[in-house]
Amino acid sequence: MDIGKLNKLGKAIDEIEEGQTMSVTEAIEDDQLLLYLGLTNDANPLYIQHDYARKTIYKQPLVPSVLLIGIVTSTISKHFPGPGSHVVNLSVNFVEAVYHYEMLTFLLEVIKVDKHKDVVTISVEAVNTEEKRVLDAVVMVQPPMIYEEESEENNE
């Protein structure tokens, strides 16, 4: 199936070097939370009920962990290495709770480029506005790989 013009791809493995970094800041807003909860049918009261959360050690609703993972993987897909990349392994530690309406900064750094396996390993750290580390992750990513097909003329 030909879907037409190829969109701009992210960086190929030859364009990525160890030590490269980027950061992205994301505000956790109601629309993201409601979309996540609606798509997953996750009715955990710790995520949505202020009265319930007030009775817990957290005192207010938390952002679901999977939503934070989604921000990490979408940052990789959109920006670094970018469109066409594919997450093949992910390890995450949730260091501190993240609450509704927090602003988080995700810091990404390439820690390994394995051209033999076509995989880039990226370290991710997220901090809140108080500079508290809330998330650590290590993500293995295959950067975009496009293989040109032989033209029909060569096959005739």
Strand order in the sheet with 21-27: 21-27, 103-114, 119-128, 133-142, 86-94
Confidence of residue 138 (pLDDT cuts 50, 70, 90): very high
pLDDT tens digits along 50-89: 999 999 999 999 999 999 999 999 999 999 899 999 999 9
Mean pLDDT of the 84-103 span: 96
pTM of the model: 0.84
Looking at the predicted structure, is the pLDDT value of residue 150 above 50? no
pLDDT tens digits along 44-60: 999 989 999 999 999 99
